[in-house]
Amino acid sequence: MNMSTTEAEPTAELTCLKCHSSIDYCSFCDESRCGVAVCYGCLIEDLGETVAQPHDHGG
């Protein structure tokens, strides 16, 4: 007997176009089926919403 009441929806494999990390949805358009998906980290860097640390150690 099948005890489960819900079935998990199949999730599309989505990766960030820039860093190739696995993501659930595109951080720009919020879509899970985006052809040019981008992760949050790459997006804010690209849009200049964050400033890269001048030194590796962060100081």
Partner 1 sequence: MSPRAAWRLESFGFTEVYHYEAGKLDWIAAGLPSEGRDAERPRAGDVARKDVPTCSLDERIADVRARVRAADWDVCVVVNEERIVLGLLRHDQLDKGEDEPVEQVMRPGPSTFRPHVGIEEMARYMIEHDLESSPITTSDGRLVGVLLRTDAAKAANKLREQHEREHEP
Interface residues with partner 1 (CB under 8 A)? Answer: 26-31, 34, 36, 46-51
Least distance in angstroms from the C-beta of 2 to partner 1: 31
CA-nearest of 19, 13, 24 to 42 is 19
Least distance in angstroms from the C-beta of 38 to partner 1: 8
Least distance in angstroms from the C-beta of 51 to partner 1: 7
CB within 8 Å of 14: residues ≥ 6 apart: 22, 23, 24, 25, 26, 32, 33, 34, 37
Q: Which is nearer to partner 1, 30 or 56 (CB)?
A: 30
